[in-house]
């Protein structure tokens, strides 16, 4: 599991648990019991971070969270999911090289040495990944 996914899952878990445990967000004004907190954590863990906003909204509604608090959580969860998708795109772009995006120097090198584009694009990637290999 990637570091970004674990981080996003942690953020989602904290967000859902915070909504359930805050007495101000509960309809009855009482904090949630431990079973409700554990159920919220389990919702995120069981999905491996692939929980939808609708699933979270449904879960919070069933646990008696106020609609205004649910709306706040849904907005924050949208932000978490958007940021996670952007990190995924950046990670994908870091090792799926754009072979059309070449500087004039890279084009010259590729003309003289065919298939050198991969080496030119991959070298910085592997240097960035080297600390993580240990």
Give per-residue pLDDT as tens, 38-53.
777 777 777 776 778 8
Structural domain boundaries enclosing 116: 104-133
Q: Are 69 and 56 in contact (CB under 8 A)?
A: no
Over residues 51-73, the mean pLDDT reads: 81
Matching residue, tokens 């159920």: 39
Q: What is the pLDDT of residues 3-37, one digit of tens each?
A: 666 677 777 777 777 776 766 655 555 555 666 66
Domain check: are 11 and 65 in the same one? yes
Domain check: are 76 and 125 in the same one? no
Query: H/E element holding 26?
Result: none
Domain check: are 13 and 78 in the same one? yes
Instruction: List 65's β-bridge partners, or say none.
Output: 26
What is the pTM (predicted TM-score) of this model? 0.61
The chain-wide mean pLDDT, for the chain, equals 77
């Amino acid at each position: 599991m990637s570091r970004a996914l674990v981080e996003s899952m942690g953020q989602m878990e904290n967000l859902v648990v915070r909504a359930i445990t805050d007495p101000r967000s509960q309809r009855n004004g009482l904090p949630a019991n431990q079973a409700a907190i554990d159920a919220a954590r389990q919702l995120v863990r069981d999905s491996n971070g692939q929980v939808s906003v609708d699933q979270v909204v449904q879960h919070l509604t069933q646990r008696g969270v106020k609609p205004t608090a649910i709306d706040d959580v849904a907005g924050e969860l949208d932000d978490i999911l958007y940021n996670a998708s952007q990190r995924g795109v950046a990670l994908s772009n870091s090792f799926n090289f754009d072979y059309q995006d070449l500087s004039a120097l890279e084009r010259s090198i590729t003309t003289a040495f065919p298939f050198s584009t991969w080496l030119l694009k991959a070298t910085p990637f592997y240097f960035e990944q080297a600390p993580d290999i240990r």
